[in-house]
Structure 1
Amino acid sequence: MTADRNALDRLSPDLPFPSPRPEVESLHAYSAPLEGRRQMLRLDFNENTIGPSPKVVEALRAIPADHIAIYPEYDGLREAVIANLNLPLQPDQMGLFNGVDAAIHAIFHAYGDRGATLLTTAPTFGYYTPCAQMQGMAIEAIPYDGETFAFPLERIREALLQPRSGQPPRLLLICNPNNPTGTRLAPERILELAAAAPQTLVVVDELYEAFTGDSVLPQADFTALPNLLVLRSLAKTAGLAGLRIGFAIGHAAVVDRISRVTGPYDINSFAVTAAFAALKDQAYVDAYVAEVTEARAWLAEQLRSAGVRHHVEGGNYLLLWPQTDPAAVDQALREAGILVRAMTGKPLIDGSLRVSIGTRDQMQRFWATYQRITSI
């Protein structure tokens, strides 16, 4: 795909074709190396490593063939998500999207504008940047602390209240806990930031919250803070990453605006069926989250005992710094059937590997292989 794209770029000056917007022409799209992973131990993309509840599989297998020919229906899904959250929300405060990536894209499409500012942190989830670039936005990325990876609260507050451009940022995007550093920010601080900047849409990406417990939702009052929006998913916990379903939760007017820029049937029927089944088996999800949390603590203890530099805080992942060439370690792990994610070129964490956390047995396999490769 990359070679084909490069060939097109070389040929394009001589080919007559409609010109895209300047932002698109200079855009470097977010891409992830996802091919050839299915037979490997997948510790590279923070996915659920064992699959969804058996009840999800049963529900998918029970879909009648003729239903595949019918456009998807969403009746009751918002209410089911709200019941699962056990919060006093209304259905019009719950937006449904084809994965949280689609929700993020819709947020930028609805609220991003040429010359407006996205305020965020660095390093963080890589998809925020191309979404901002395609709208022609300026990006102000405040780095985490270089040693502890603590959230740069005062610098973010200053950028909100005393913006260099004279205009408040259009969007503030906080990944909490942050991917890839695991940095956690207390819900109270997020609410304070939203209250202090009513002209900024404060988006909290909570994909990994279940592994940490820092959700802003129990304290959120979207009537008082209509500029607060929270993103959730069934990908990381319930194991539905391959079906793509995500949620945006906030003030009804904001949810309505970001929903306007999506297609009418973006979420397919299989995802809807799987979501209903997953929401009905919360015990399965809770057990998986507990297993991952325990495995995270176990691996962190092994790293401490072996003297391996690492950072672990929130989410179903951690960072470690090999004492030898990280690219060579990454490749050797791949050859052993284990995938991790190299953080090459990312600010503050260059030279590290991000390791997703699975079950205890999976992490024992990883650790034994890592020890053998690095001769610890």
Structure 2
Amino acid sequence: MTLDRDGTAGEIDRPAAPADQAPPPPPPDRPGAEGTASRAASRAAARAPDRPAAPEPTGDADVDLPEPREAPDDEPQGVDGEARKAAETDDPPDDGPPPAERPVQAAAQAAPARPFSETASSRPAEQREEAVERPLYPAVTDHSGYAFSEREFAFSGVSPEQVWDMRTQRAPLGMRPGQWDECVVELRAALEFDGFGDAEVRLQGPGARFCSQDPRKWFPQNESELRAKVIQRHRGASDDERLRRADNAVAKYRAAGFSQERPKPITAFFDGMYKLDATGEPDCYEFQIVDSGRDLERDSPALRGWVRRWEAATGRGVSLVIADRGHADAGLREDDWMVIEPEREGREGREEK
């Protein structure tokens, strides 16, 4: 509808648009134009990251890929190769360990150093095997065949190492190995001074065997026997004192387990009777000089001085007697502790070997 100049309305006839006419196509440079992607495809492509398209398969046959090229020996390879290449162009580095060894070296420096004596590898293989395989105490028996146990060793106050030193003849009970070595050196000098230079010397007694070889020295088998021994020893004391000492001895006997109904030793053992107050002194060291026709009291001033010296050093008695090899009651045995072997017999033994 239009208005005339006088303001009246009038209708203007216009041709009607055909009903089936399509909208005009978009310009060729916009999405959706002929020959381009649709608008939806264009938006999806705009959101997707730029990635290289996968190659389309050319057929069912396998595709032969090129084999990797082997780099020559002088060409750097990988990350280490890049480092070597950079090292060739720059100044030579310090003479430090290679990168592969640096963590190991750093760990070794960070770890605290252990003393050589504490490491397992510092000990010889024989000692490591002995420490693993040997029992706590060596096998020690008396003349009746009784095998001494930890009960007797503990009652005597000796450690496993001391018992092993005795068993291997490194030192008798009551002495340290270094102290024993010094004792033997001084004994040799005294023997030489007194004219026993080629003598044979043996060690007897509980210090060498843990138990006594004297059949008269027996261990009490019950509390009654122990009471009788203690009372007899203190027969000069008052009745009250004798009973008090006997009661104390029985208490120790019970505490050690000797009152129980179980096997116990027949023979007195190292310091056992002394700890039970049945004797007045600890066991002594019994040395035998195998000789004949000599008088120690008259012919051996140096040996008498040696005895006094080591009685004071150990707090135990030291007996030194002459044993005649020709007498059956000399008490010599094949398994005696040989303190000093005659040089003559030692040479003959080495020659036979």
Name the TM-score, length of structure 2 as normaliser: 0.21
**Larger Rg belongs to:** 2
Please give the TM-score of this superposition, normalised by the length of structure 1: 0.20
The structure with the greater share of residues assigned to strand is 1
